[in-house]
Amino acid sequence: MEITITSNYEEMSKVSAQIIAEEIQRKHDLVLGLATGDTPIGTYQELVKIHKEEGLDFSKVKSFNLDEYLGLAPLHKNSYNYFMWENLFKHININPENVYIPQGNIKDPEQFCAWYEAQIKEAGGIDLQVLGIGRDGHIAFNEPGSSFASRTRIKALYKQTIEDNARFFDKMEDVPRFAITIGIGTIMEAKKILLIANGKNKAAVCAQFIEGPVTSQITATALQLHSYVNIVLDKDAASKLERTEYYDWVRDNKHSVQKEIGR
Distance, in Å, from the CA atom of 165 to the CA atom of 180, rounded to the nearest integer, reads 15
Could you tell me which residues are beta bridge partners of residue 5? 233
Could you tell me which residues are beta bridge partners of residue 63? 32, 99
- In sequence order, what are the residues at sequence separation of 6 or more whose Cβ sits closer than 8 angstroms to the Cβ of residue 251? 2, 3, 4, 5
Alpha-carbon separation of residue 141 from 80, 135, 161, 189 (angstroms): 13, 12, 9, 17
Active site residue 86: no
Active site residue 38: no
Active site residue 29: no
Catalytic residue among 46, 68, 127, 143: 143
Distance, in Å, from the CA atom of 131 to the CA atom of 138, rounded to the nearest integer, reads 10
As a whole number of angstroms, the longest Cα–Cα distance in the chain is 62
Catalytic residue among 46, 51, 67, 236: 67
Active site residue 255: no
Q: How big, in percent rounded to 5, are the helix, strand and coil portions of the chain?
A: 45, 15, 40
DSSP 126-146: -SEEEE---TTS-BTTB-TT-
Distance, in Å, from the CA atom of 19 to the CA atom of 42, rounded to the nearest integer, reads 14
Amino acid 45 reads: Q
Catalytic residue among 46, 68, 138, 164: 138
Q: Report the run of H or E that residue 114 belongs to, with start and end.
A: helix 109-122
Catalytic residue among 68, 127, 136, 236: 136
Active site residues: 67, 136, 138, 143
